[in-house]
Amino acid sequence: MRRRRLFNVLIFGGVVFLFTKFHVLCKHSQYVLCVEPWSGAATVELFRIIRPYLAALIVLVACLLFFKRASKRALALEGGFKAFPEQFDGEVVELKGTVVRVLDDSVGEHLKRGMTDMYRTWTKDPNNANRHIHQRFFVESPDLKNGESIFVHHNTKFGKVTLSRGTKVHVKGEYAHRVGSRRGWFGRRKTYYGRVHFTHPPKGFLELL
């Protein structure tokens, strides 16, 4: 979100700067961009003017990408996903742990998702949201903070796994930092980790240990 805002500010500032520059040039001038703005000569002149700014923008984007990768390497050294899960939103994560709770879907949930799947298959709609039944369970792991667990969604279309409390699993999938809340001794508190989904090829897997 911060990068998007910075990019928008830079674009807006660039547009204002170029508009001001052309306004000053065209105020009392027979400049080619003012007289024949759609001619080939005007296009060449425009490119000549914006070329250094375009080069500067490319260098800036390259620097941002470099520092993003560097920051991720620094996070990995400092504690990585365990300490900074919000930095891995949308990234593929992998962990080994123990199932501490398994959620069962109701008959209504099975019926709703089954009807959704049938309708989208009939209409050739590729949207997979709320389409297939998922095994949903919580995992505690040494890769997480002590006392915390992570929510896992596994699409049964790619094979159902026999799970129960205490089952050892190896999970790999895409992390979504959508934290919820859970009940504790002093009321409800926000969870530290979000959920892992896409635990199937090409992004991940779910294996029993």
Chain centroid, CA 167 distance in Å: 29
Judged on CB neighbours under 10 Å (0-12, 13-18, 19+), 69 is exposed
Q: Mean of the pLDDT values across residues 81-98?
A: 88
How far apart are alpha carbons 76 and 51 in whole angstroms?
A: 38
The span from the CA of 135 to the CA of 81, in Å, is 23
pLDDT higher than 90, residue 184: no
Q: Residue 182 to residues 110, 186, 190: CA-CA distances in angstroms?
A: 25, 11, 7
Q: Which of 180, 182, 171 is nearest to 144 (CA)?
A: 171
Asked if residue 163 lies in contact with residue 189, where contact means CB atoms within 8 angstroms, the answer is: no
More confident residue, 146 or 14: 146
Q: What is the pTM of this model?
A: 0.58
CA distance linking residue 81 with residue 14, whole number of Å: 37
Please choose, from the candidates 198, 193, 204, the residue with its C-alpha nearest in 3D space to the C-alpha of residue 154. Answer: 198
CATH T-level fold of 82-208: OB fold (Dihydrolipoamide Acetyltransferase, E2P) (2.40.50)
The predicted model gives 20-45 an average pLDDT of 69
Q: Give the pLDDT score at 55.
A: 86
Q: Judging by DSSP bridges, how do beta strands 195-197 and 150-155 pair with one another?
A: parallel
Ordered by start, the domain boundaries in the chain are: 2-78, 82-208
